[in-house]
Amino acid sequence: MNTIHYSQCWEDPQTLTDALNINPADNVLSIASAGDNTFALLLKNPVSITAIDINPVQIDLMELKIRAIQYLNYEDFISFLGYRKCNDRKKLYSYIKRDLSDRAREYWDTQSRKISRGIAHCGKFESYFKLFRNFVLPFIHSRENIQQLLSSQCFKQQEVFYNGVWNNIRWRVLFRIFFCKFILGHIGRDPSFFNYVSLQKIAEELFERSRKGITEVPVKNNFLLEYILTGKIMSLRNAHPYLLPENFEYLKENVGDIQLVTANLIDYLRTLDHNSISKFNLSDVFEYMSRSEFEITLNELIRCGTNNSSLVFWTLFVPRKVPNKLLKKLKSSNLLANKLRKNDRGFFYGSFNVWRIIAKQKTQSYPPLEKIEKL
Ligand SMILES: C[S@@+](CC[C@H](N)C(=O)[O-])C[C@H]1O[C@@H](n2cnc3c(N)ncnc32)[C@H](O)[C@@H]1O
């Protein structure tokens, strides 16, 4: 496992933070991936936050982003990541690498190409989008068309443009070829990511989700779509929260508090105390598990979660339904999930799910006996 699969997070951070509604008493557990969404959760000032990933190089990537936040000024940080031009990213790396863990330093010392290109672009998935942008999209649309789509101001404009210009025959054919299961599986993701996928018409499904994303979700501040189509974020005002200038000082001061863990989620949950986590960001990890592993993980989440804690997860191609027998302990926040889903800029997902852990016995939060006596 030494491939960086994701150098950016592809779930919408707004959907995530609105769903979890972090408060200063929260203890958060978040799937690390590229780190971006854990940074967005940190910005909500929880009492503790842990980022976990089964893939060690995803944690190495997150660690490097943490050091870049801590040691660089805002302009250099943005340039180092690759969102703005930079003449010498290797020089910036040699400045920030001193406090990397031995493992992360050993990894990054051998990755000078990734560093030179900017680490926000180095994931396998981001490279797949680059192939699309450089070798497929130019045969479908001109730069003017792309800009016109991205500058649409309302749904009506988006829909008219999609139907009249965007959805031409080349889009319909080349999209379905490039995003078919074989090419997506081998070049964009990994064939093993499809182990539990029974959906056959992957390209067809993604085509329909993209139509919805382009016509039914506002595109004018959709930095995920802008990146897929242009490889850039023109206005950092519209970017991911961890890239916004006004959040940089807070991140600099607090990003060192994130605890990084390389482990399988289920193994890590087993090490945690009962009632120790109040908010869970689970990305779409259930996609990569069998049904029984999903159920075992849910049971562990229920054990570790506090009463009324929230957990969120997306699904991509594998629908995951909470088993009936757990419905006494988990309550769906369907209304909230559906409301947030309407504006979810990560339109390629199949579903967004928010659940609350309910009816738990309080095993930890009683004050010690002597305090009760004084009351
Ligand atoms: C779940 S993936 C999803 C990325 C993106 N949303 C997608 O669908 O392509 C995000 C991260 O979860 C990590 N991951 C997957 N299964 C995991 C597990 N069982 N425990 C911990 N991390 C896991 C992966 O290594 C990856 O970095």
| Ligand 1 neighbour 10 (Cβ under 6 A) | yes
Phi and psi torsions of 4, nearest 5°: -80, 110
Rounded to 10°, the helix 202-216/169-178 angle is: 130
Sheet hosting strand 305-315, strand order edge to edge: 259-262, 48-53, 27-31, 277-281, 305-315, 351-357, 330-332
- The mean predicted confidence, pLDDT, of the chain is 94
Of 3, 4, 6, the one to substitute when testing ligand 1's pocket (max ligand atoms within 8 A of C-beta) is 6
pLDDT at 109 over 70: yes
Q: What is the mean pLDDT of residues 160-174?
A: 97
Q: What is the mean pLDDT of residues 250-279?
A: 98
Residues 6+ apart with CB under 8 A from 184: 128, 202, 206
6 touches 123 (CB < 8 A) = yes
Interhelix angle for 223-230 vs 143-150, to 10°? 180
The answer, yes or no, to whether residue 373 has pLDDT greater than 50, is no
pLDDT band at 341 (very low <50, low <70, confident <90, very high): very high
Name the residue among 10, 14, 41 with its Cα closest to residue 28: 41
Lowest mean pLDDT among 46-60, 71-85, 361-375: 361-375
CA of 138 to the centre of ligand 1 (A): 31
Most informative mutation of 15, 33, 37 for ligand 1 (most atoms within 8 A of CB): 33
Pairing of strands 259-262, 48-53: parallel
What is the residue type of 123?
G
Phi-psi region of 82 (alpha: psi -120 to 50; beta: other; left: phi over 0): left
Average pLDDT, integer, range 126-153: 97
Q: Among residues 297, 236, 232, 292, which one has the least CA distance to residue 267? A: 297
Mean pLDDT across 65-91: 97
Instruction: Kindly give the number of the ligand 1 atom that is closest to the alpha carbon of 316.
Output: 8
| Residue 272: per-residue pLDDT | 98
* Ranges of each domain in the chain: 127-238
Ligand 1 site, residue 53, Cβ cutoff 6 A: yes
Cβ of 340 closer than 6 Å to ligand 1, yes or no, is no
**CA-125 nearest atom, ligand 1:** 9
pLDDT more than 90, % of the chain: 89
CA proximity to 202, closest of 222, 218, 188: 188
Distance 290 CA to ligand 1 centre (A): 14
C-alpha of residue 185 to centroid of ligand 1, in Å: 15
Instruction: Find the 350 Cα to ligand 1 centroid distance in Å.
Output: 16
Q: Is 315 in the pocket of ligand 1 (CB under 6 A)?
A: no
Pick from 283, 348, 352 the residue to mutate for probing ligand 1's pocket: most ligand atoms within 8 Å of its CB.
283
- Mean pLDDT value of segment 105-127: 97
DSSP state for residue 256 in the 8-state scheme: G
Q: How many CA atoms lie within 13 A of 267 on its CB side?
A: 7
**Per-residue confidence band for 370, with pLDDT thresholds at 50, 70 and 90:** very low
Q: How close is the Cα of 33 to the center of ligand 1, in Å?
A: 6
Q: Stretch 225-248: mean pLDDT, rounded?
A: 96
Give the pLDDT of residue 248. 98
Both tokens assigned to 86 = 């930079």
Q: Which residue puts its alpha carbon closest to atom 11 of ligand 1?
A: 33
Q: What does the DSSP assignment read for 331-343? A: EE-HHHHHHHHHT
- Asked if residue 66 has pLDDT above 60, the reply is yes
DSSP H helices, 163-264, are 169-178, 181-183, 202-216, 223-230, 245-254
Name which residue sits closest to atom 12 of ligand 1, judged by CA: 33
3-state SS record for 270-327: HHCCCCCEEEEECCCHHHHCCHHHHHHHHHHHHHHEEEEEEEEEEECCCCCCCCHHHC
The mean per-residue pLDDT over the stretch 250-267 comes to 98
Q: Rounded to 5 degrees, what angle do the CA atoms 290, 311, 211 make? A: 75
Residue 174 structure tokens: 């080349």
Q: Please, are residues 355 and 311 in contact by the beta-carbon 8 Å criterion?
A: yes
Asked which of 148-152, 169-173, 359-363 is least confident by mean pLDDT, the reply is 359-363
Asked if residue 60 has its Cβ within 6 Å of ligand 1, the reply is no
Pocket of ligand 1 contains residue 283 by CB under 6 Å: yes
**Mean pLDDT of the region 124-143:** 97
Q: Position 362: which residue type?
A: K
Start-to-end Cα distance in the chain: 55
The DSSP letter of residue 33 is: T
For Cα atoms 32, 204, 233, give the angle at the middle one, nearest 5 degrees: 45
Over residues 231-249, mean pLDDT: 96
Amino acid at 184: L
Quick one: CA dihedral 185, 190, 191, 192, positive or negative? negative
Dist CA 331 CA 344 (whole Å): 22
The pLDDT of residue 185: 87
Residue 58 near ligand 1, beta carbon < 6 Å: yes
* Closest ligand 1 atom number to CA of residue 264: 20
